Amino acid sequence: MDIYDYKSLLKRLQEDESLKRLEDRERFVIPKVDVVYEGRTTILRNFEKILSALNRDADHLLKFFLKELGTAGEKDGPRAIFQGKIPAHQIQSKLEDYVEIFVLCQECGRPDTHLIKKDRLLLVRCDACGAIRSVTTRKKRGLTEKEVLEEGKVYEVVISDIGKKGDGIAHYGRYTIYVPNAVRGSKVKVKIEKISGTLAFARLVE
């Protein structure tokens, strides 16, 4: 029998482990966050697994989360702990932003990249196609319906901090919401009274 006939070649391809690894990379999926709440803290239980999937440094990802979520926190073993009760969908959204900015190659779409510093610039270099880009270059993600605020509507948010004037501060998508008389760490319903750019002003509702 001809060792190069179609069936034998197909079988060899199907059994080729390197091809299986390639298919796995092509099917890259952003990890789903595993979130639980303890008191007034939010615990990201699979923080270490996310780091492994993205091949990124813990401090880098943690600093990004803290800045984007507008809260304080720390790494605790395989977990990350954030102050306040932060909705899982909000953490997931920030993780997707991180992957888009710091992980995915914009030329070939692969996650096989690493970060390099050149002078004062932080660059993303793709090991698959060799492309290099600045981390400030990113694709524009359209806002989903859940990330768009409208004046007069009621939303459920978590007060993650207290401002200098005593107002509670919450985050919703790209918006920062100021809520008078709100308690830090509480989950509340607010009515949006005014929106100015990415700032919103609201009041507590029953």
Q: Which DSSP helix (H) or strand (E) runs through 92?
A: helix 88-98
Delimiting residues of CATH 3.30.70.3150 domain(s) in the chain:
35-134
What is the CATH code of the structural domain delimited by 35-134? 3.30.70.3150
Find where tokens 């880009």 sit: 133
pLDDT band at 204 (very low <50, low <70, confident <90, very high): very high
**pLDDT at residue 19, rounded to an integer:** 43
| pLDDT tens by residue, 138-195 | 444 444 545 688 999 999 988 888 888 889 998 887 788 999 999 988 889 999 999 8
Q: Average of pLDDT values for 78-83? A: 96
**Would you tell me which CATH number, out of the four given (2.60.40.10, 3.40.50.300, 3.10.110.10, 2.40.50.140), belongs to the domain 145-204?**
2.40.50.140
Could you give the residue range(s) of every CATH 2.40.50.140 domain in the chain? 145-204
Q: Global pTM? A: 0.57
Rounded Cα gap, residues 71 and 91, in angstroms = 12
The rounded distance, in Å, linking the Cα atoms of 160 and 86 is: 7
pLDDT, averaged across the chain:
83
The Cα–Cα gap between 60 and 99 comes to 12
